[in-house]
């Protein structure tokens, strides 16, 4: 009886490891998305609150603030850019509505961008702001 060649066993082993790795990575991101949909103590999920703040602040957005939001979200890979823009816009909208502003300003955009960005990405955020000559000096305390 012929036995299976060694190269074939290594081939099967390699693809088994690759598939398990890809499924683990995909499962991790699906689980994170699932956690965002779970309701908090107030009965609304994180995504519900994001949608609430985006809708509530929609009339406050000017063309200039929309362009700044697009510019701030530009370093995000295109596959995730819409999701990132939505969460950044929600934080900016929340700041604008809670401050009672008549429109979303550049200050709201910069502060919301900093607050919506995870702390692990703050070093990249700082380099992006400096590269685009955006003054964030009054928000340095948020970057701690």
Question: Domain limits of the chain?
Answer: 1-38, 46-142
Beta carbons of 67 and 106 less than 8 angstroms apart:
no
- Residue ranges of alpha helices (H) inside 38-80 are 46-57, 63-73
Beta carbons of 101 and 124 less than 8 angstroms apart:
no
Q: What's the average model confidence in pLDDT over 45-52?
A: 90
The pLDDT value recorded for residue 1 is 54
Residue 50 CB partners (closer than 8 Å, separation 6+): 86, 87, 90
Q: Which backbone phi and psi does 44 adopt, to 5 degrees? A: -115, 145
Q: What's the average model confidence in pLDDT over 1-7?
A: 78
Under DSSP, the state recorded for 19 is: H
Residues in the chain: 144
> pLDDT tens, 24-40?
999 998 888 788 788 88
Q: How sure is the predictor about 144, in pLDDT bands with cuts at 50, 70 and 90?
A: low
Distance of alpha carbon 109 from the chain centroid = 15
Structural tokens at position 69: 């939001």
Angstrom distance (rounded) from CA 86 to CA 81: 9
Percent of the chain with pLDDT over 70: 98
């Amino acid at each position: 009886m012929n036995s299976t060649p060694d190269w074939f066993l290594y081939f099967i082993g390699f693809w088994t490891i690759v598939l398990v790795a890809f499924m683990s990575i995909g499962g991790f991101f699906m689980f994170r998305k699932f956690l965002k949909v779970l309701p908090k103590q107030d009965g609304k999920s994180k995504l519900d609150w994001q949608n609430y703040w985006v809708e509530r602040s929609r009339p406050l957005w000017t063309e200039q603030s929309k362009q700044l939001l697009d510019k701030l979200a530009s370093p995000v890979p295109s596959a995730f850019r819409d999701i990132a823009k939505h969460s950044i816009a929600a934080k900016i909208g929340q700041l604008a509505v809670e401050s009672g502003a008549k429109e979303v300003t550049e200050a709201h955009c910069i502060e919301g961008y900093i607050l919506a960005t995870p702390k692990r990405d703050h070093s990249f955020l700082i380099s992006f702001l400096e590269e685009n000559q955006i003054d964030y000096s009054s928000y340095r305390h948020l970057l701690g």
